[in-house]
A and B are shown apart, each in its own frame.
Chain A
């Protein structure tokens, strides 16, 4: 809808660019988190005890300065705030985009956009659904699809990935994560205004590729290794 008047008292904080900066910063928080999470997962290659020890130490981290699970809760709060900020601004921008073109083209070609850039919104939604399932599976209340006990983190992980459809869900989720990171990383760097030359833009795109391959690949190694029998109880 066009406004025939000039806006008075425009504020930077109220702009769509501010919303994008919120998305970019919260996205960078997630990137930092998934890198740390992936490191923890790869502990599975060090065996049952090392993996469980790591999980246990996360709860004791910073004691006695922090209370039991204190560090974990600081992280959880940070992630919850980042998630709300990320999803709320995505929703606002999605709505704006839908209203900006209500009459669609009969024919529209994509000339430049990558698959990852076009799937950010639906892919993000898929990741959100996956996170819900992932938390049910491994955090609260913990679900062992193989029917075994849920007390031992390492065994719960191996049991879960021994079920074929669980492996499929996790691998698909990692594909979605890889796509999201591929465009998201570049987009965040661009939104923060660090790509003012062609070469810095190319480097930001490379960073997107590297993070997508390293993170999605690193996470996928564990379920694939369970499937191949490299990681077992």
Chain B
């Protein structure tokens, strides 16, 4: 198929960027979205132009490295990551607009690559548990209720790709934080630091400059791992408990 691509080009963080138009022919519907961009880059290389820079790593939908705003939707029209989006989701002759995640906390480094270091700092602020080193405890030493284990597992699928921030009209990272807080908060290992965790993570989130949540739900619709909105309720509940504890 033949496509018209509108792609954000930006030399580096300090330069101003703009949208550029590219015509691309011979795209197979079996290609992934990133393979389609690889084809475009081969074409650009042949023409002596700079290839389009974008992030990718595993290309299996599990690492969270890739992430593009495709026609106004984070990761495009399907519930999956950009690397697992295939060109069969598009039609011959389509116009596709490709932009980087837009958030002042995720500065554009080049073209479609943004710096998501803020997520690492939020994790550093509280998204961990402290455990004694030594031999591994027996698997059945800390019993976990099935319901809690399931919920923790479901939200632990968050790959920190940043689609929630990209889709949120407020540029909030609440879904990401909520997923981490719910994941650790449902498990016995997460209890000792539970309320300190929520305060430190939200404190870091706010200092980074992310917006506040207005419970609109664009994040969960964009999430390739279908993290539900109730993790934000859990985050709020834990913070309310922390308030009561005077933290």
> A101 touching B102 by the CB < 8 A rule?
yes
With A7-B203, A105-B69, A196-B230 as known contacts, state yes or no: A18 contacts B239, CB within 8 Å: yes
27 A-B pairs in the complex with CB atoms less than 8 angstroms apart:
A1-B105, A2-B106, A6-B121, A7-B203, A10-B204, A12-B199, A14-B203, A15-B239, A17-B239, A97-B172, A97-B212, A100-B211, A101-B103, A106-B6, A106-B8, A107-B97, A109-B72, A111-B73, A117-B217, A187-B215, A192-B237, A193-B238, A193-B240, A197-B230, A200-B230, A201-B229, A201-B230
Whole-angstrom CA separation of A190 from B174 in the bound complex: 13
From the candidates A6, A14, A120, name the one contacting B214 in the complex (CB within 8 A): A120
> A192 touching B221 by the CB < 8 A rule?
no
Interface residues of B (CB under 8 A from A): 6, 8, 19, 69, 71-73, 97, 99, 102-107, 115, 117-118, 121, 124-125, 167, 169-172, 198-200, 202-218, 220-222, 228-230, 232-240, 242-243, 247
A interface residues, how many (CB within 8 angstroms): 55
> B243 touching A2 by the CB < 8 A rule?
no
Least CB separation from A103: chain B residue: B102
> B236 touching A193 by the CB < 8 A rule?
yes
- Produce 1/0 per residue, A93-132, CB < 8 A to B: 1001101111111111111111001101000000000000
> B124 touching A6 by the CB < 8 A rule?
yes
Chain A residues near B207 (CB-CB < 8 A)? 3, 7, 10
Whole-angstrom CA separation of A109 from B75 in the bound complex: 12
Smallest beta-carbon distance A116→chain B, Å: 10
> A16 touching B206 by the CB < 8 A rule?
yes
> B214 touching A15 by the CB < 8 A rule?
no
A191 on interface, CB distance cutoff 8 Å: yes
> A190 touching B229 by the CB < 8 A rule?
yes
A39 on interface, CB distance cutoff 8 Å: no
Chain A residues near B171 (CB-CB < 8 A)? 97, 100-101
Smallest beta-carbon distance A183→chain B, Å: 8
Whole-angstrom CA separation of A10 from B208 in the bound complex: 13
Whole-angstrom CA separation of A164 from B161 in the bound complex: 54
Whole-angstrom CA separation of A17 from B8 in the bound complex: 34
From the candidates A2, A17, A120, name the one contacting B107 in the complex (CB within 8 A): A2
Chain B residues near A11 (CB-CB < 8 A)? 199, 203, 247
Chain A residues near B19 (CB-CB < 8 A)? 106
> B220 touching A109 by the CB < 8 A rule?
no
Least CB separation from A21: chain B residue: B240
Chain A residues near B200 (CB-CB < 8 A)? 7, 10
Whole-angstrom CA separation of A21 from B19 in the bound complex: 40
> A195 touching B102 by the CB < 8 A rule?
no
Q: Which chain A residues in 159-218 approach chain B with CB under 8 Å?
A: 183, 186-187, 190-198, 200-201
Chain A residues near B229 (CB-CB < 8 A)? 190, 195, 201
From the candidates A19, A110, A198, name the one contacting B218 in the complex (CB within 8 A): A110
Whole-angstrom CA separation of A17 from B222 in the bound complex: 22
